[in-house]
Amino acid sequence: MERVRGKTTSAAKTETLQAVLVGGSAGAIDVVSHLLAALPADFATPLVVLIHLPRHRPSALLGALRGHCRLSLREPLDKEPLLPATVYLAPPDYHLLIDPGPSFALSVDEPVNFSQPSIDVLFQSAADVLGPRCAGLLLSGASPDGAQGLRAIQEAGGAVAIQDPDDAIQGAMPKAALALCPSARVLSTKAISEWVLQLPTWQTSKGAR
């Protein structure tokens, strides 16, 4: 028994996304670099990419991906607000979370699924804070990390997609996600950027709040 407060959210379906979240591990870097290359310069919704990397060494990923991306690309700092037309890469040796704002938060809590950063941690916090206003995409990987998080995004009403396990270099991560989110879109490697581009994202930076 509860009273309805404010308007109901029938407009939720047309609501633009505040963030698109991408997770992956072994075999995901090439997929991400193709995706970034396909994003137009006016793709304004922040894109957050988390790829598992070896611990205790600086990430070379930023340099490797920079040439492939028309958008601003960087590792977020603690409390940095999510800005339009920016691709954020999760830094090594921290968990990356979304706090209300939305802004980034970091933690050095224990690894989850032997991973720090963990995709589950990022996706679950995004689902909690952004609800249907985020979308999740899980790519190739040899770890079950990300499956719980993807389900959290789906349960919160966000769009979710998984790289086809048979088309991924490592199928374990997408398979684990499919087991928990059987109704998620399954995408061939080629169809991934198309799926991201059809999401209700901000089309110009003017679309940002």
Partner 1 sequence: MSGEFDIELPLLLEAIHLKYSYDFRRYAVSSLKRRLEQALQQFGCRSLSALQERVLREPEVMRGLLAHLTVPVSEMFRDPSFYRALREEVVPYLRTYPSLKVWIPGCATGEEVYSVAIVLREEGLLDRTLIYATDINPEALRKAEEGIYAIDRIPDFSKAYCEAGGRASLSDYYTAGYNATVFDRTLRAGVLFSDHSLATDSVFAEVQLITCRNVLIYFDRTLQDRAVALFRDSLCRKGFLGLGAKETLTFSTHAAAFAEFAREDRIYQRR
Q: Which of 140, 145, 183, 188 is catalytic?
A: 145
Nearer to partner 1, 111 or 207 (CB): 111
Report the number of secondary-structure helices (H) and strands (E) in the chain.
Answer: 6, 9
Is position 167 annotated as part of the catalytic site? no
Nearer to partner 1, 93 or 167 (CB): 93
Nearer to partner 1, 7 or 56 (CB): 56
Task: In angstroms, give the least distance from the CB of 109 to partner 1.
Answer: 6
Query: Residue numbers of the site for partner 1 (CB under 8 A)?
Result: 56, 75-80, 91, 93-95, 97-100, 105-110, 121, 124-125, 128-129
Here the tokens at position 39 are 């994003």
Concatenating the DSSP letter of every residue in 33-78 gives HHHHHHS-TT--S-EEEEE---SSS--SHHHHHHTT-SSEEEPPPT
Task: In angstroms, give the least distance from the CB of 78 to partner 1.
Answer: 5
Task: In angstroms, give the least distance from the CB of 142 to partner 1.
Answer: 23
Distances (CA, A) of 75 to 21, 55, 106, 142, 186: 14, 16, 11, 24, 28
Q: How far is CA 26 from the centre of its chain?
A: 16
Q: Which of 25, 115, 118, 143 is catalytic?
A: 25
Annotated catalytic residues are: 25, 52, 145
